Structure 1
Amino acid sequence: MKKITSIIAMAISVGATDVVCAQSGQKGKQQNPYMLVYEGAITKNEKGKVNVHPVKYKLNGIEIAANVYTPANYDASKKYPAVAVAHPNGGIKEQTAGLYAQQLAEAGYITIAADAAYQGASGGEPRHTDKPASRMEDIHGMADFITRYPGVDASRLGVLGICGGGGYTLKAVQSDKRFRAVATLSMFNSGEVRRNGFQNSQVATIQERLLKASHARAAEAAGKKITYAGVASITDEEIAKIPTDLYREGYEYYYRTHAHPNSTFLYTTSSLLDLMTWDATSNMDLIEQPLLMIVGSKADTKYMTDEAFPKATKAKNKELFVIEGATHIQSYWKPQYVSQAVNKLTEFYQANL
């Protein structure tokens, strides 16, 4: 029971400095040739259908791995609107970011889903670094690449940020006006949660966790072992006892139903030095682009979208769209919720790009 309690605490905690090691339980190997793990994923590129194109590009000296999706009957001599998709914390381009990128391509957009630097198949050391400045730069980098892709109309660029990618998107678009329409899905404010704990459960330990992060930074500088926060693997029994939908369903998604070798819940403990002093919702009045924020009515992260939305006082055509019955993780993959989100996103981008 003590072990289970510690797993739950770490699942909710954001300041842990040791990796939890338990029985993995990951089942099966990736069969898709593009390593895509979502339902309905492309298995081969066929003429007249949506195609996926693995690409690589350099961003500040780091090689970024991304997938570009092109619409059915794509013609490079024509001009198409484009959408960049920023993946969740712990996620990669082959999971929900790819699902939404593919479905938006089916609606006629050229889309890009890139692995964040230091994560997934992208380069960068130390691995699993998760710093806001880097994650925002990833979003700028997707704009750099996709606006020069054959057939893209650079004046019609949108962005979709999912979970942590949504929080980083809100910050990136405050300055990057190449993005003409901004959308988030199940937005997760990484700074607020790493600082205060999920649902403000760790406010009393902020200084203690900052001290641990400082020690971790010092150890890295001295060439010692890098420490990580998060959960490396977890048993079915431990998952079942986690009280919050976000983490219980999240572990099921990332470690069971949509597991991928490049996806992990880990991040360097030293990243907390940057995360805990950052907030996705500061300077929201700099967002003047049209803004759509989508969230499930049952998402236990909904409070973050509810906090952010009113702060976007100058956003044009601002809308909060609630998917009835959806939790945070269910909006990643459940067809009845994904279809609602994609229909709303398509309507939004058509009106604003």
Structure 2
Amino acid sequence: MNVVAEADRAVSRQEGADTGRRNLLKLTGLGIAAMTGAMTTGSAFAQRQESLGDKWDKTFPKSSRVNHTKVVFKNRYGITLAADLYQPKGTRGKLAALAVSGPFGAVKEQSSGLYAQTMAERGFITLAFDPSYTGESGGEPRNVASADINTEDFSAAVDFLGLHPNVDRNRIGVIGICGLSGMALTAASSDSRIKAVATASMYDMSRSISRGYKDGYTLEQRHKIIDYLSQQRWVDAENGRYGLGYHEVPFDANGNIVKGQRVLPETLPSNADPVLAAFFDYYRTPRGFHPRSINSTTAWTATTPVSFFGFPMYANVGMISPRPILLIAGENAHSRYYSEDVYKGASDPKELLIVPGADHVDLYDQADKIPFDRLTAYFNRHLV
């Protein structure tokens, strides 16, 4: 049973029983907090948060320098998100805060949690969250990604942080890792409460899914994917459930659509592509495996690409200015061109940091390569 979904139903029952009071609270600041789910003192939210437990199940060691708490909050679509809140010990007054998520298909117990905990050690209050429909967050069906809703998730995280008593709501930034980077930039382009945004190993999921690696899909291939997705919708409608099987590289050597139940194979082929091998080494080995991670154990729903064909990420990236952007990419990363292209298209102030000797996946968890000093200096400079 999905404890998050079950707790969501408890929240709905509680909200239904308390409609009159909630309508009155809508007129107050307390009501705004309740509607966003930032206040978790109500019995239903307390039940939801308690159902998540507080067991340390991360892929990285727990720090003795921060306090960790599991929290829940709602986004604008009414989906309850689960997150890990990290607060530095021994600090006083209101602090700057960071919302962190990614990579695409990962969970907060993996890379985003590592970033969040490390930045909390450096004096920030941080929130690593599972995007809607994944991990411990709510939303049905499971294993769905949405360019729109996952962008909203970042703004909902800002809602939560801005209502936290220890956070200075005028000093909130975001970090997007890999495929959630595009959502972070898109959120910042329409949410001026985000005062600074940073990305690591950026992937533009709209561009990747709809156009392929380095825009390599032909027009015929793009139509072929759309036809497959369209026909899959008939299959899902007839079956009454959503089939799994989306692959980021959807064509086999013969040009046929690839279907399957896993993002990554059970075992790595002996002649595996280096990029596949790098992802496998993180998600499918003890280094980064997590049972709730889509990339570690299963696949996205087959129709997940639909919204990414119709929703270009960060189309309004120029609107982030005069707020700053920091783009971090590995020197040897196959995805490096995404960061470079955003840098070319974005307005000042902007920074592009290329990490020598690093590949795409190195920036997930290799502390000797992730430029935490630069991230700290960047946010200290701009979250003032």
TM-score in same-fold range (> 0.5): yes
CA contact (8 A) 2:189 2:314 kept: no
Q: Deviations over 1:276-296 (max 9, x none)?
A: 223224222111111111110
SS at match of 2:303: helix
| Deviation of the 1:223 alpha carbon | 4.4
Question: Which residue in the other structure is 2:288 paired with?
Answer: 258
Deviation per residue, 1:314-347 (Å, 9 max, x gap):
x32x110110000010111112112xx2111101
Corresponding residue SS for 1:270: coil
Match for residue 330 of structure 1?
362
For 1:302, the equivalent position in structure 2 comes to 336
TM-score by structure 1 length?
Answer: 0.83
Q: Contact conserved, 1:157 with 1:181, CA < 8 A, in 2?
A: yes
CA radius of gyration, larger in: 2
Structure 2 residue matching 1:210: 3-state secondary structure: helix
Residue 124 and residue 328 in structure 1: after superposition, are their counterparts in 2 closer, same or farther (change >3 A)?
Answer: same
1:55 aligned residue: 71
Unmatched segments (≥5 aa) in structure 2: 1-53, 248-261
Letter in 1 for 2:87: T
C-alpha RMSD of matched pairs (Å): 1.7
Q: Name the aligned partner's letter for residue 306 of structure 2.
A: L
Corresponding residue for residue 25 of structure 1: none
3-state SS of 2:198 partner: strand
**Which residue identity is paired with 1:152?**
V
- Alignment partners' CA distance in 2, 1:281 and 1:172: 8
User: Where does the alignment leave 5 or more consecutive residues of structure 1 unmatched?
Assistant: 1-31
1:192–1:278 Cα contact (<8 Å) kept: no
Contact 1:110-1:152 at 8 Å conserved across structures: yes
**1:248 corresponds to:** 277
SS at 1:103 equivalent:
helix
Look up the match of 1:105.
120
Q: Which amino acid aligns with 1:321?
A: L
Normalising by structure 2, we get a TM-score of 0.77
2:246 counterpart of 1:224: no
Q: Which residue, 123, 137, 143 being the options, matches 1:122?
A: 137
Size of the alignment, in residue pairs? 308
The 2-side partners of 1:233 and 1:160 are apart by 25
TM alignment of 1:1-353, pairs within 5 A = 33-38=55-60, 40-42=61-63, 49-59=65-75, 60-75=77-92, 78-203=93-218, 204-228=220-244, 229-230=246-247, 231-238=262-269, 240-245=270-275, 247-256=276-285, 257-265=287-295, 266-288=299-321, 289-313=323-347, 315-316=348-349, 318-338=350-370, 341-353=371-383
AA aligned to 2:127 is I
- In 1, are the aligned partners of 2:147 and 2:313 still within 8 Å (CA)? no
Give a deviation string over 1:135-189, Cα, whole Å, max 9, x none. 1011111001111112100000011110011111111110101000111111100
Which residue identity lines up with residue 269 of structure 1 in the other structure? A
1:311 Cα shift? 0.8
Cα distance in 2 for residues equivalent to 1:348 and 1:180: 11
For residues 298 and 235 of structure 1, the distance between their equivalents in structure 2, rounded to whole angstroms, comes to: 26
User: Following TM superposition, where does structure 1 have runs of at least 4 consecutive aligned residues deviating by more than 6 angstroms?
Assistant: none
What is the distance in 2 between the residues matched to 1:281 and 1:151? 31
Is the 1:41–1:99 Cα contact (8 Å) retained in structure 2?
A: no
Letter of the structure 2 residue corresponding to residue 274 of structure 1: S
Q: Residue 337 of structure 1 aligns to a residue in which SS?
A: coil
The answer to whether the 8 A contact 2:82-2:130 is kept is yes
SS in structure 2 opposite 1:177? coil
Cα deviation 1:26-66 (Å, max 9, x = unaligned)? xxxxxx9321112x334xxx6xx211111112223222110
Q: Distance in 2 between matches of 1:233 and 1:292?
A: 30
